[in-house]
Amino acid sequence: MRTGVWLVGARGSVATTSIVGGLALRANLAGPTGCVTELPDLRGPALPAFADLVFGGHDVVTTPLCKRAEALASAGVIPGRLVAALPDELAAVEEELRPAPSGDTQADRAAAAVRDLAGFRDRHDLDRVVVVNVSATEPAARPHAAHSDPEALRAALSGPDEVLPASSLYAYAALEAGCPYVDFTPSTGARLPALHALAVERGLPYGGHDGKTGETLVKSVLAPMFAMRNLAVRSWSGVNLLGGGDGANLADPAANAAKVESKQRVLGETLGYVPQGDTRIDFVEDLGDFKTAWDLVTFAGFLGTRMRMEFTWHGCDSALAAPLVLDLARLTAAAHAAGRVGPLTELAFFFKDPLGAPTHSLAEQWALLTGFARALHAAAPGSADGHAA
Amino acid sequence: MRTGVWLVGARGSVATTSIVGGLALRANLAGPTGCVTELPDLRGPALPAFADLVFGGHDVVTTPLCKRAEALASAGVIPGRLVAALPDELAAVEEELRPAPSGDTQADRAAAAVRDLAGFRDRHDLDRVVVVNVSATEPAARPHAAHSDPEALRAALSGPDEVLPASSLYAYAALEAGCPYVDFTPSTGARLPALHALAVERGLPYGGHDGKTGETLVKSVLAPMFAMRNLAVRSWSGVNLLGGGDGANLADPAANAAKVESKQRVLGETLGYVPQGDTRIDFVEDLGDFKTAWDLVTFAGFLGTRMRMEFTWHGCDSALAAPLVLDLARLTAAAHAAGRVGPLTELAFFFKDPLGAPTHSLAEQWALLTGFARALHAAAPGSADGHAA
Amino acid sequence: MRTGVWLVGARGSVATTSIVGGLALRANLAGPTGCVTELPDLRGPALPAFADLVFGGHDVVTTPLCKRAEALASAGVIPGRLVAALPDELAAVEEELRPAPSGDTQADRAAAAVRDLAGFRDRHDLDRVVVVNVSATEPAARPHAAHSDPEALRAALSGPDEVLPASSLYAYAALEAGCPYVDFTPSTGARLPALHALAVERGLPYGGHDGKTGETLVKSVLAPMFAMRNLAVRSWSGVNLLGGGDGANLADPAANAAKVESKQRVLGETLGYVPQGDTRIDFVEDLGDFKTAWDLVTFAGFLGTRMRMEFTWHGCDSALAAPLVLDLARLTAAAHAAGRVGPLTELAFFFKDPLGAPTHSLAEQWALLTGFARALHAAAPGSADGHAA
Amino acid sequence: MRTGVWLVGARGSVATTSIVGGLALRANLAGPTGCVTELPDLRGPALPAFADLVFGGHDVVTTPLCKRAEALASAGVIPGRLVAALPDELAAVEEELRPAPSGDTQADRAAAAVRDLAGFRDRHDLDRVVVVNVSATEPAARPHAAHSDPEALRAALSGPDEVLPASSLYAYAALEAGCPYVDFTPSTGARLPALHALAVERGLPYGGHDGKTGETLVKSVLAPMFAMRNLAVRSWSGVNLLGGGDGANLADPAANAAKVESKQRVLGETLGYVPQGDTRIDFVEDLGDFKTAWDLVTFAGFLGTRMRMEFTWHGCDSALAAPLVLDLARLTAAAHAAGRVGPLTELAFFFKDPLGAPTHSLAEQWALLTGFARALHAAAPGSADGHAA
Ligand SMILES: NC(=O)c1ccc[n+]([C@@H]2O[C@H](COP(=O)([O-])OP(=O)(O)OC[C@H]3O[C@@H](n4cnc5c(N)ncnc54)[C@H](O)[C@@H]3O)[C@@H](O)[C@H]2O)c1
Ligand SMILES: NC(=O)c1ccc[n+]([C@@H]2O[C@H](COP(=O)([O-])OP(=O)(O)OC[C@H]3O[C@@H](n4cnc5c(N)ncnc54)[C@H](O)[C@@H]3O)[C@@H](O)[C@H]2O)c1
Ligand SMILES: NC(=O)c1ccc[n+]([C@@H]2O[C@H](COP(=O)([O-])OP(=O)(O)OC[C@H]3O[C@@H](n4cnc5c(N)ncnc54)[C@H](O)[C@@H]3O)[C@@H](O)[C@H]2O)c1
Ligand SMILES: NC(=O)c1ccc[n+]([C@@H]2O[C@H](COP(=O)([O-])OP(=O)(O)OC[C@H]3O[C@@H](n4cnc5c(N)ncnc54)[C@H](O)[C@@H]3O)[C@@H](O)[C@H]2O)c1
Ligand code: NA
Ligand code: NA
């Protein structure tokens, strides 16, 4: 199952790490640490092999991919030896990177993106292309009447308005090109009634939102722990110190607000009440591609006794995100192959703010995910239970 | 369903907190924070009400219960107003406390304990009595040939040897008296082939071992998190600083070793490999009934990138343990009423070193526990599905 | 040397803790833990004894002092037994508390305050009264032409303008009444050219600003450590989570800004450069009178190697501040007795933002302070070197 | 002032980092971050320039220096580019490394070491050679009657006994060769009456013990902070997790005990009492050349209020130690040039367990050190005040 992975923001940290890692896995130069789809509970015949993944993407900047990779290597995100070992493979991906589509109207730009996607699929004879948005987080989008309906949307896009935020225009183009779409960012992406309707119309699945890689990941196991023990969480305060491109962008208050809100949601929904406290994001350039999060939780136990827990998480966001991008591409490709349409709520495990928000408990999300994978594998051509291709 | 809760170590911190809390719940002076059996997923008709619990127990010391309660109040473990509000209720429990049984042989001492239990059941017209061991942790027990078989055991107990460690002699007496037995400590308790056979013979359930209240509780959600994300845990080191009676006892290297071993087990079994690092227990008198644990986890992500997490847990052990003691008494009483026999492996949620060790993941233990409770409630007399008593 | 301690904000947490503590020390019910002036390097004949301190003050609220004291006791700030043991003493102080002075113009209000101070001095036959501002932190004051000169100030105060912020009006009244003035808050207080001139005119000393009790105290030893080791601090980020009255007030962005700025100053001035990172203050009601601060420091060592340090400080602000208020009252009284006039820069040890800012290193501030005390003691009537009273 | 720096343990982590750093400073490829002697308060004409330092040393292993340097570079301790830029310089130092001296008796081995030192001095036409012990920490030495007196010592060394531990035999040889000796390790080194007498006889200074680089450095500012504030430290517990060669060695209980004891000393001597708690050292191979220390301090403030502080230090020990080795070599050379004889107690700033233990407060040690440097500079030939050489 030859599968294209088209990355929006293809020259960013997450995308570059995903590409280098995907190429290294294909070349057997690295193992799948961090790749959830390689765990016994998830792997199986429905998923495209790493060797079947082909990378391409859009970006607004033109820094060569190998330069970004070298920069990430010297920042300690990826091993320099991998970058040095894959010059031809990186050059081949470089060939498949395109500037952000241009055109007078959003309709023109969408059409250009559709051509980029179709060309990629054809050149590489791909069974399908999954579009994954890993570009910079946008400010919250402004509502527009045309967001509610595909016909209205199509009409409005041909006009002079900036009807859709960039993430949604990419989602629109993906769907128009027959490609499933996954949003790894907190941006709007496919989360508009018009785009949902379009996905259904075209028989396409989509997934999102906002990859869960650090503090929120930890929250998604600690909050259920407090809930299962009937302990009363009184306050949960956090600070996220981060450098890197995404950090600078999030220092922008509008983007920050979007991100913070998706981070706090897990608490209220898991505990059934919202404890005191806030989560802050601060930019500290010196931290580079690493992030340090500190959280303080105060809670009351039996007869009101006051207790507390704090944790510090020091993670490399791109290294945590990249294997999930590969996982999402594989799982979404398999879902598409299996004929799944609409929001992939079973992918909640991967996201801070999952579509359909079935649960914020990591363990319950895991149960959903493994059930999903089992069903895909059971139905897959190569499986004992599956029917012939 | 009038239910006796017989506490071995009844004048200790955990026992006293359990008693004060149980009385306060009965008197509607406190809510059930920390009581797992009051969560929507667990409560139901099979469980005895808090108002149906009657307390008694054994201890080797004679400090009056109300003095221990006052000491715990001034240490901040329980609210002084509760102790002040329950003088008669505490005095009534005091009436039901007995010295550790004496006698020339272990058989004599067991017989004395059986008489204590039977007298308690009769005086209060109880449907059943659950014996819960919350006495001081013992050093690891010495093997003895008579541990393998009830007949051999019975014979040996009448001889001059100290055949059984105290925790197991209490378990033996409980079973002989027809009482289910739960071990909240890491001591041997019912974990001997002879005692298992005896429980089966008498149609009794038993549960254990070692209440999971602090660092291990956190491990039981964090270790699965790393496993589910396919992150490679390189080292996990911990230190537990604790004061209090249990702390002084654990400073004894033999008891310490038993405790540390049950703490590390969760990692190896959850991750599938044992990371580097140790867990230490140190006695720091100044911490009183509170415990501070610090853990450092180093892990590798995608392409080998090194990351780390640390947490500090500052908890009051007795306040964490006491509601679980009540939960265990209620659940074990219900299991007994339902005719369950042998080890209650579905209680793994409560223990560091659960019988049968079905899983060390808190989420999976939760699934086992809620399934167990659902089945009990479905079969209970008061339930829609249950048959008449 | 009978010494009045007049507290502006006399019903607040810091003031109440200072009063209860001062009374308890006088009654020999408590030791001087936290009182710097009782250390061997500082104590001596120049200082008024605790038994010589008499308390009074202003506040805008009317909550009875004993109610505030009881509230602090149940919050764990002061022992309930002390409050219970000192009812008459607290009632006597209650007699000396006055509402914030009223009047049509600021001149009228200042005159009322002067009468309050003079009455207090007379009633208790005091050698002197030290006024200490421990009222709520004000927003940064607006400049006014009359701030530069006592004559202009006096004239303007009789007009309709709010010429001075409250803290400065209290300072003005104190000086007019012949009382030394200390500002324990970050407010403007005596820091205006007109008030400096007035202090000199009246031969009075003054001190401030902003008691150094938590994170900044730690910074004032850690920052010099990095400096003395020639380590390059790359970033220093902090978050202060605090409940209590002061916390709610500081959540007000204007007050917050004043406080944050005085907190960061120590770094730039000690290191000689300003590292990246910010200090945040967040209000978390659940923390009550306790504060948790977390700081992350990243630094580079030899050949650029990157390292990091983090600390968590969990302190009770009022318990840290109150003994310093007593220390400041004693030292300032002694300075006044010794004829010192103008800013007491040797008190820098006590402040986040010390007058004259001679140094931000705690060790150097200590050297200044002990030298200051030695000189006072040497000149004191009771000392070997001093002249008769 | 051409100065030899002879490192015992010359192929170890600290030594290799010192050598690479010294060469890089000489070649202007790196700045002096972490070098205390380059601070304005310390630098001056008495100190040999970095360009005047020449390296040599002893080691029991034969791993080539450039291999060790490359290993440290890939472990992130030193930048790979420096190692790559200094091949000839490293090869030149390699020429000056010698195996641990051999011979039948300790006298023979000492004589061999003296020849090594004299040859080094002659070949490079050095004004003097400072010997610095950075070899593996020894277990505590066994007492021997000959330790008390140089004559007895000389006699005993010619016999069959292992009279001296290795560190002391190196110290003996250094003194016999006319070289000042500094012990950067906790080993015995020159701390024997016989060696002190020998140093005085030969007119040589010596310094030590045990470089202060991590947790103890932090303690040496925090403990005085608590003392200066009259806060009562109730407990101070710490754990040091370390990998690297030194870590493995310290896992050996005997060496561990020596190190732990020198770590706790600072507390008792600074506070005037020993708080509860212990310091642990655990070996965690995965941490490599980095060390993570965590300390918990509980303390009581005014009226007994309980508070706490914890810190985590994540440092690279070799990067912290190496610049201090260069500092010690420079300062000791200057002291020798100035005619100083016996223990250099003014170097306490650098050590966990300083000779003569004048004070454990970093700030007071700093005052001693800067005074010492000022005196040296004032007397130096190149200074305004100094007399001609
Ligand atoms: N790393 C994580 O752990 C993590 C977790 C959750 C979400 N995310 C999200 O992933 C995204 C990428 O993160 P990153 O660290 O790689 O950021 P980055 O800044 O390194 O990369 C973003 C890339 O997007 C490109 N871009 C911006 N606007 C674009 C547009 N209109 N069209 C095409 N490309 C565009 C930028 O040029 C840049 O190359 C962010 O939105 C971040 O919030 C990351
Ligand atoms: N508190 C927790 O979070 C927690 C968690 C897991 C396990 N535990 C275990 O619970 C037990 C009780 O803890 P605690 O803090 O209450 O300790 P504790 O020392 O306060 O109480 C133990 C009591 O047991 C009594 N005792 C000792 N030997 C006895 C004997 N032979 N017969 C009868 N009584 C005896 C003692 O006199 C004492 O009153 C310990 O074994 C501890 O390891 C506690
Ligand atoms: N606690 C510390 O560690 C610490 C450290 C440095 C500075 N401070 C400063 O000390 C001050 C007091 O702190 P707190 O915790 O006691 O606060 P608080 O809110 O408990 O007390 C402040 C008191 O001031 C009174 N007040 C307000 N405006 C007044 C006015 N115009 N005249 C008279 N009284 C007035 C209030 O009614 C209140 O009773 C704050 O400004 C705080 O920033 C405290
Ligand atoms: N790094 C720090 O922060 C720090 C701080 C204080 C003290 N120290 C001390 O510095 C010493 C060196 O630390 P390291 O990390 O470089 O250790 P290391 O193990 O990397 O190096 C020690 C070297 O000494 C050599 N050696 C052992 N015995 C010897 C002998 N008899 N003669 C000559 N050489 C011998 C070993 O072969 C090795 O090359 C240790 O004793 C350590 O305790 C280090
Ligand atoms: Na911490
Ligand atoms: Na921490």
* Beta-strand pair D290-300/D232-242: antiparallel
Token pair of C202, please? 């009246």
E-only strand ranges, A301-345: 306-316, 342-343
Higher pLDDT, D386 or C228: C228
Output the pLDDT for position B261.
67
Is B344's C-beta closer than 6 angstroms to any atom of ligand 2?
no
Output the pLDDT for position A104.
95
For the ranges A160-174, D280-294, D298-312, the lowest mean pLDDT is seen at: D280-294
- Residues of chain D with pLDDT > 90: what percent? 83
What rounded mean pLDDT belongs to chain A?
A: 93
Q: Is pLDDT of A46 > 70?
A: yes
- Is D312 in contact with D322 (CB distance < 8 Å)? no
Output the pLDDT for position A388.
40
Secondary structure (DSSP) of D236-295: EEEEEEE-HHHHHHHTSHHHHHHHHHHHHHHHHHHHSS--B--EEEEE-GGGTTEEEEEE
Element (DSSP H or E) covering residue D297: strand D290-300
- Residues 236-255 of chain B with CB under 8 A from chain D are 237, 239, 241
A interface mutation test: which of B233, B302, B312, B349 has the most A CBs within 10 A? B302
Nearest to B318 by CA among A305, D279, A300, C12: A305
pLDDT digits (tens, 9 = 90+) for B163-212: 999 999 999 999 999 999 999 999 999 999 999 999 999 999 999 999 99
Helix, strand or coil for residue A152?
A: helix
What does the alpha-carbon distance between residue D58 and residue D170 come to, in Å, rounded to a whole number?
A: 10
Token pair of B110, please? 């067991």
Q: How far is the CA of A15 from the centre of ligand 1 (A)?
A: 8
pLDDT digits (tens, 9 = 90+) for B123-137: 999 999 999 999 999
Q: Domain limits of chain A?
A: 3-210+319-379, 215-316
Q: How far is the CA of B312 from the centre of ligand 5 (A)?
A: 6
Whose structure tokens read 């008499």?
Answer: C54
Output the pLDDT for position D389.
37
Please tell me which of B244-248, C258-262, C375-379 the model is most confident about, judged by mean pLDDT.
Answer: C375-379
Output the pLDDT for position A297.
98
Taking one residue from A and the other from C, the number of pairs with CB-CB distance under 8 angstroms is 59
Binned at pLDDT 50, 70 and 90, residue D388 comes out as: very low
CB contact under 8 A, A235 and C286: yes
Q: What is the number of the ligand closest to the CA of A313?
A: 6
Higher pLDDT, D288 or B389: D288
End-to-end CA distance of chain D: 11
What does the alpha-carbon distance between residue B122 and residue B332 come to, in Å, rounded to a whole number?
A: 20
Output the pLDDT for position D61.
97
Binned at pLDDT 50, 70 and 90, residue A249 comes out as: low
Higher pLDDT, C251 or C127: C127
pTM, whole model, 2 decimals? 0.94
D291 CA: nearest ligand 4 atom = 3
Query: C299 CB contacts (<8 Å, ≥6 apart)?
Result: C226, C231, C232, C233, C234, C306, C307, C308, C309
Token pair of B129, please? 């009595």
- Residues of chain C with pLDDT > 90: what percent? 83
- Residues of chain B with pLDDT > 90: what percent? 83
For the ranges B199-208, B228-237, B261-270, the lowest mean pLDDT is seen at: B261-270
Query: Which of C241, C276, C286 has the CB atom closest to A284's CB atom?
Result: C276
How far from the centroid of its chain's Cα atoms is residue A48's Cα? 18
Taking one residue from B and the other from D, the number of pairs with CB-CB distance under 8 angstroms is 59
Query: Which of B79, B225, B302 has the CB atom closest to A21's CB atom?
Result: B302
What does the alpha-carbon distance between residue D103 and residue D113 come to, in Å, rounded to a whole number?
A: 10
pLDDT digits (tens, 9 = 90+) for C115-134: 999 999 999 999 999 999 99
Options 2.40.30.20, 3.30.360.10, 3.20.20.80, 3.40.50.2300; CATH for D215-316 is 3.30.360.10
Q: What is the mean pLDDT of residues A234-260?
A: 75
CA D284 to chain B, closest CA, distance in angstroms equals 6
CB contact under 8 A, C228 and D300: no
Q: How far is the CA of B153 from the centre of ligand 3 (A)?
A: 71
CB contact under 8 A, B229 and A217: yes
Q: Is pLDDT of B252 > 80?
A: no
End-to-end CA distance of chain A: 11
* Beta-strand pair A97-99/A53-59: parallel
Binned at pLDDT 50, 70 and 90, residue C388 comes out as: very low
Q: How far is the CA of A274 from the centre of ligand 3 (A)?
A: 30
Query: Which of C33, C302, C315 has the CB atom closest to D21's CB atom?
Result: C302
E-only strand ranges, chain B: 3-8, 53-59, 97-99, 128-133, 181-183, 205-208, 232-242, 279-283, 290-300, 306-316, 342-343
Q: Is pLDDT of A386 > 80?
A: no
pLDDT digits (tens, 9 = 90+) for A113-170: 999 999 999 999 999 999 999 999 998 889 999 999 999 999 999 999 999 999 999 9
For the ranges B6-15, C64-73, C374-383, the lowest mean pLDDT is seen at: C374-383
CB contact under 8 A, D225 and C217: yes
Binned at pLDDT 50, 70 and 90, residue D359 comes out as: confident
| Chain C neighbours, 3+ Cβ pairs < 8 A | A, D
Q: What is the mean pLDDT of residues B96-101?
A: 98
Is A91's C-beta closer than 6 angstroms to any atom of ligand 1?
no
Partners of residue A87 on adjacent β-strands: none
CB contact under 8 A, D315 and C301: yes
Q: Is pLDDT of D249 > 70?
A: no
Partners of residue B205 on adjacent β-strands: B342
What does the alpha-carbon distance between residue D251 and residue C245 come to, in Å, rounded to a whole number?
A: 50
Give CA angle at B183 (B179, B186), nearest 5°.
160
Output the pLDDT for position B251.
62
Looking at the predicted complex, does its ipTM rise above 0.90? Answer: yes
Fold of C3-210+319-379: Rossmann fold (3.40.50)
pLDDT digits (tens, 9 = 90+) for A10-33: 999 999 999 999 999 999 999 999
Query: Which of D36, D303, D311 has the CB atom closest to C79's CB atom?
Result: D303
CB contact under 8 A, D277 and B296: no
Q: What is the number of the ligand closest to the CA of A314?
A: 6
- Residues 210-239 of chain A with CB under 8 A from chain C are 234-235, 237, 239
Is D289's C-beta closer than 6 angstroms to any atom of ligand 4?
no
Binned at pLDDT 50, 70 and 90, residue D385 comes out as: low
Binned at pLDDT 50, 70 and 90, residue D354 comes out as: very high
D315 CA: nearest ligand 4 atom = 3
Which protein residue's CA is at the shortest distance from atom 9 of ligand 1?
A: A185
Is B42's C-beta closer than 6 angstroms to any atom of ligand 2?
no
Q: Does D288 touch chain C (CB under 8 A)?
A: no
Q: Is pLDDT of C251 > 70?
A: no
Helix, strand or coil for residue C210?
A: coil
Query: C226 CB contacts (<8 Å, ≥6 apart)?
Result: C233, C271, C297, C299
Is D262's C-beta closer than 6 angstroms to any atom of ligand 4?
no
Q: Does D310 touch chain B (CB under 8 A)?
A: yes
The count of other CB atoms within 10 Å of the CB of residue D105 is: 16
Binned at pLDDT 50, 70 and 90, residue B346 comes out as: very high
Q: What is the mean pLDDT of residues D46-60?
A: 97
Q: Does B296 touch chain D (CB under 8 A)?
A: yes
Nearest to A41 by CA among A369, A332, A276: A369
Q: Ligand 1 pocket: which of A62, A131, A134 to mutate (most atoms <8 Å of CB)?
A: A134
Q: What is the mean pLDDT of residues A230-259?
A: 78
Q: What is the mean pLDDT of residues B51-80?
A: 96
Higher pLDDT, D243 or A188: A188
Q: Is pLDDT of B110 > 70?
A: yes
Output the pLDDT for position A301.
95
Binned at pLDDT 50, 70 and 90, residue A252 comes out as: low
What rounded mean pLDDT belongs to chain B?
A: 93
Nearest to D375 by CA among D344, D352, D329: D344
Token pair of C204, please? 């009075």
Q: How far is the CA of A278 from the centre of ligand 3 (A)?
A: 25
Q: Is pLDDT of B388 > 80?
A: no
Q: What is the mean pLDDT of residues A214-233?
A: 94
